[in-house]
Amino acid sequence: MFKDEHKIILSSVIGGISVWIIDAFVDSFVFSMGPFWNSLLADDIHELYFRLIFVVSFILFGVIISRLVSRRKQAEKAFREHEKRYRMLFENAGDAIFILDAEGEKPGRIVSANQAAAEMHGYTIDELLALNITDLDTPEAAKEAPERIQRILKGEGIKAEVSHRKKDGAIFPVEISAGLLELGNHKYILAFDRDITERRRSELALKDSEEKYRSLMESVGDSIYLVDLDYRYLFMNKKHLARLGLTGDNFMGQAYGDIHSPDETKAFVKMVNTVFETGETVNHEHLSRRDNRYFLRTLTPVKDADGSIIAVTVVSKDITELKQLEEKLRTLSLTDELTGLYNRRGFFTMVEQMLKLVRRQKKLVFLLYADLDNLKEINDMFGHHEGDQALIDTANIFRATYRESDIIARIGGDEFVVIPVGGGEENTDIITARFQKNLNEHNDRNEKTDRNYRLSISVGISYYDPESPCSVDELLRQAEKLMYDEKMRKQKP
């Protein structure tokens, strides 16, 4: 604004000088024409010319004064508008605003304060104007005030958290932001104070919550860790650190693949990606080669304030004992308690799986159906304990005859079934002959003891042809019929 006024004045001066230069040029021209023309023209021309100069000068002066007055009014109006706007902001600001004297005998004296400053500290504005900013500080904060003022005078902006005291003596935390303000030839401090009581309370609550959460994670017996989008560790509890053989925070930033095998890493990355893609929790059982134990891993998304997934929390629970118990229960549900062979349920479970393989491989297999002939007589003559022993002995004979991979089951009181895995029609005679040999050797050994009976076992064999498949029940019926045919032949004289 003032630069424009300087330009106008400079232009006017140049214009005036130009007029006088022209006047001098005209005078020189007239006098150069000689005495006659000089006397004839000088008076008239000078009179006319001076009138012209007067008019032009008057017009230029009027234009200059008018433009200066107009611009001055515009500047004053703009200044009043800016002052009004800043005064409104000053008075209506939510934070406390102070203008402090930075020089003189009492640096820190409050020169101006807004209504928010008065309400925050429990004073009126007039009461604040009679105070120094150190009167609002706690003793500890007041000791640091002179050093802060000196830093501001050197041009440094200050941002700090201090404690203030209200008129009633209550102490509360504030965050101050202050800088240098120069008005005229005097230096002031413009300070903004914000009450951070609620923020401090939230921070303490968050810290308390974090400590409780960390304490909980450290107290549980599960491995807990946190990974980011790049599968890098952000946190591990002590349990997981111990499992991995790590100490301290040297794991931070390491990738999952830096510590685990490629196969384990591939499976883990797949699960983490599923969590990031779906936002759903993922559960997965796995056998850890590092521990040789079973774990149930639960992967849960961690979201930020806008709902974006930023990490995944993994809780790895040792379920080895549970898996062992499940296996034991499964074994019990499929195993005959007396003989240790498969029971009827176990037999059907294993046979269904085996027949699927046989159908794919197109192999012929046989089923041997056996019955202990004289179990009732043994029970009647020697008691049920001896009858149970006869069943156990029969089971042991089957075990000695067939391989561990073969399916051997007790499906009834005195009924046994065998399906040799991989066996075909061509070796049936060899296997049954070996069974009979083992049975005879058992009876021979019994004759040397106080047992006064021989085991007699009738068998029937049926065949499963994958080219003409039938059900397991049909196989059993065919073999059972052939077993009874043999039993009847034994009873004939």
CATH number for position 479: 3.30.70.270
**Residues 270 and 169 grouped into a single domain:** no
User: What does the pLDDT read at residue 208?
Assistant: 67
Average pLDDT, stretch 338-347?
92
**Residues 56 and 178 grouped into a single domain:** no
Average pLDDT, stretch 385-398?
94
**Residues 169 and 75 grouped into a single domain:** no
Lowest-pLDDT range of 65-74, 286-295, 397-406:
65-74
Residue 460 DSSP class? E
**Residues 349 and 369 grouped into a single domain:** yes
pLDDT band at residue 354 using 50, 70 and 90 as cut-offs: confident
Name 160's bridge partners.
176
Average pLDDT, stretch 318-332?
80
Tell me if 354 sits within 8 A of 407, measured CB to CB.
yes
Name 366's bridge partners.
463
Domain total in the chain: 4
204: number of Cβ within 10 Å:
10
Whether 27 has a pLDDT exceeding 80, the answer reads: no
296: number of Cβ within 10 Å:
16
Nearest of 302, 140, 316, 124 to residue 217 by alpha carbon: 316
Long-range contacts of 188-191 (CB under 8 A, 24+ apart): 188/99, 188/100, 188/101, 188/102, 188/111, 189/98, 189/99, 189/100, 189/101, 189/102, 189/108, 189/149, 189/152, 190/97, 190/98, 190/99, 191/97, 191/98, 191/99, 191/100, 191/133
Alpha-carbon distance of 132 to 125, in angstroms, equals 13
**Residues 482 and 343 grouped into a single domain:** yes
User: What does the pLDDT read at residue 362?
Assistant: 79
CATH number, domain of 178, equals 3.30.450.20
Tell me if 312 sits within 8 A of 302, measured CB to CB.
yes
**Residues 232 and 363 grouped into a single domain:** no
Residue 102 DSSP class? -
Start-to-end C-alpha separation, the chain: 140
**Residues 413 and 483 grouped into a single domain:** yes
Domain termination residue (choose one: 301, 322, 343): 322
What sections of 139-181 are H helices per DSSP? 139-153
Average pLDDT, stretch 155-184?
89
Whether 143 has a pLDDT exceeding 60, the answer reads: yes
**Residues 25 and 103 grouped into a single domain:** no
**Residues 462 and 392 grouped into a single domain:** yes
User: Could you tell me if residue 202 is inside a domain?
Assistant: no
What is the CA angle 234-240-246, rounded to 5? Answer: 80
User: Could you tell me if residue 8 is inside a domain?
Assistant: yes
Q: Pick the residue with more confidence: 40 or 392?
A: 392
User: Could you tell me if residue 200 is inside a domain?
Assistant: no
User: What does the pLDDT read at residue 371?
Assistant: 95
Whether 463 has a pLDDT exceeding 70, the answer reads: yes
pLDDT one-digit tens code per residue, 127-138: 999 999 999 999
Whether 365 has a pLDDT exceeding 80, the answer reads: yes
493: tokens are: 């004289």
**Residues 339 and 463 grouped into a single domain:** yes
Burial class (CB in 10 A: 0-12, 13-18, 19+), 88: exposed
Q: Which domain holds residue 43?
A: 2-90
Domain termination residue (choose one: 264, 298, 322): 322
User: Could you tell me if residue 215 is inside a domain?
Assistant: no
User: What does the pLDDT read at residue 105?
Assistant: 80
Whether 88 has a pLDDT exceeding 70, the answer reads: no
User: What does the pLDDT read at residue 46?
Assistant: 53
Alpha-carbon distance of 375 to 416, in angstroms, equals 13
User: Could you tell me if residue 30 is inside a domain?
Assistant: yes
Whether 447 has a pLDDT exceeding 70, the answer reads: yes
**Residues 464 and 346 grouped into a single domain:** yes
Whether 209 has a pLDDT exceeding 80, the answer reads: no
Highest mean pLDDT among 57-61, 347-351, 425-429, 481-485: 481-485
Average pLDDT, stretch 57-76?
60
For residue 455, give the 3-state DSSP assignment: coil
The rounded mean pLDDT for the chain is 81
Alpha-carbon distance of 409 to 430, in angstroms, equals 20
Domain termination residue (choose one: 322, 346, 378): 322
Whether 323 has a pLDDT exceeding 70, the answer reads: yes
User: Could you tell me if residue 387 is inside a domain?
Assistant: yes
Whether 98 has a pLDDT exceeding 50, the answer reads: yes
pLDDT one-digit tens code per residue, 407-416: 999 999 999 9
Whether 426 has a pLDDT exceeding 60, the answer reads: no
User: Could you tell me if residue 330 is inside a domain?
Assistant: no
Nearest of 176, 136, 124 to residue 152 by alpha carbon: 176
User: Could you tell me if residue 327 is inside a domain?
Assistant: no
User: What does the pLDDT read at residue 460?
Assistant: 93
Name 193's bridge partners.
96, 176
**Residues 135 and 77 grouped into a single domain:** no
